[in-house]
Amino acid sequence: MKIAVSGKGGVGKTLLASLLSKTFAESGYSVLAIDADPDANLAATLGFPHPEKITPLSEMSALIQERTGARPGQAGAYFKLNPKVDDLPEKYCLEHNGIRLMVMGRIKNGGSGCYCPENSLLRALATHLLLARDEVIILDMEAGIEHLGRATANAVDKLIVVVEPGRRSIETAYRISKLAQDIGLQNIAVVGNKVRSQQDREFLISNLPEFQFLGFIPFDQAIVDADQANRPLLESSQQIIAEVRNIYKALLSTDQTPTKIS
């Protein structure tokens, strides 16, 4: 199963991606989590030790040059648009608590004409992960779908857009939905996060009438307190864990191409 998580900055994409990774892994699935948001920190949220020491693939200049034939920053150079990437998941993933992780780094606004060796490598890798890997892939993205394209749209079982009860996150959801339609990606759904009241819930439903809701994650001060105290986030709120488990079940029930359990 391939799940992509997007949404406005700060809505809780990384928390949802982390908790979904944990839930799939605990259920016996082989899980590869992909950090594709340079301003997120999936490694830290998943509890990996020393997340600050992880180098994103986009900053591995020697690797990029080896695979694409051009150094990052080499203006006007020729480089391979389809570099070899199938060995990268094994070579460059880290593992912790049964979850494998790759930190991709920033892709530069694909599709609008910005060509460079880093983008070439990251897009080829994203395509490989989505099309050729037989495991649960959970992709934590920026407020867009830069890592996806027409070739991979059908491989995404669900694009989850996380929203919070605020107008800006709704606007971003519509923008992402438009980008998804442009590449032919149909399987889009939303998850409400930081929901404090029935009013919050109704605000989200009434402002996203055409969207499928996979669930509503409550706001829980326990997460904020755990974060400030630097305690592990993923165990800090039982009510959030329970709701993510419901979202996990909803994902499985709509999945048409079940991934093998490892």
Q: Which residues bind a second copy (CB under 8 A)?
A: 8-11, 14, 38-41, 44, 71-76, 106, 108-109, 112-119, 142-144, 165-168, 171-172, 175, 199-200, 203, 224, 227-228, 230
> Closest distance between a second copy and the C-beta of residue 118, in Å?
7
Please, are residues 124 and 83 in contact by the beta-carbon 8 Å criterion?
Answer: yes
- 244 closest CA partner among 225, 218, 212, 207: 218
Least Cβ distance, residue 227 to a second copy (angstroms): 5
> Whole-number minimum distance, CB 142 to a second copy, in Å?
8
Taking the least distance from each CB to a second copy, the nearer of 1 and 42 is 42
Supply the minimum distance, in Å, between the C-beta of residue 100 and a second copy: 22
* CB nearer a second copy, residue 28 or residue 232: 232
Closer residue to a second copy in complex, CB, 42/137: 42
Q: Which of 104, 118, 112 is nearest to 70 (CA)?
A: 118
CB of 106: closest distance to a second copy in angstroms? 6
Which pair of structure tokens corresponds to residue 126? 């994203």
Alpha-carbon gap, residue 14 to 139, rounded angstroms: 9
Which lies closer to a second copy via its Cβ, residue 211 or residue 219? 219
Please answer whether residues 186 and 207 qualify as being in contact, where contact means their C-beta atoms are separated by less than 8 angstroms. no
Q: Rank residues 71 and 80 by Cβ distance to a second copy and give the closer one.
A: 71
Residue 252 CB, nearest distance to a second copy (Å)? 29
Choice between 228 and 253, CB closer to a second copy: 228
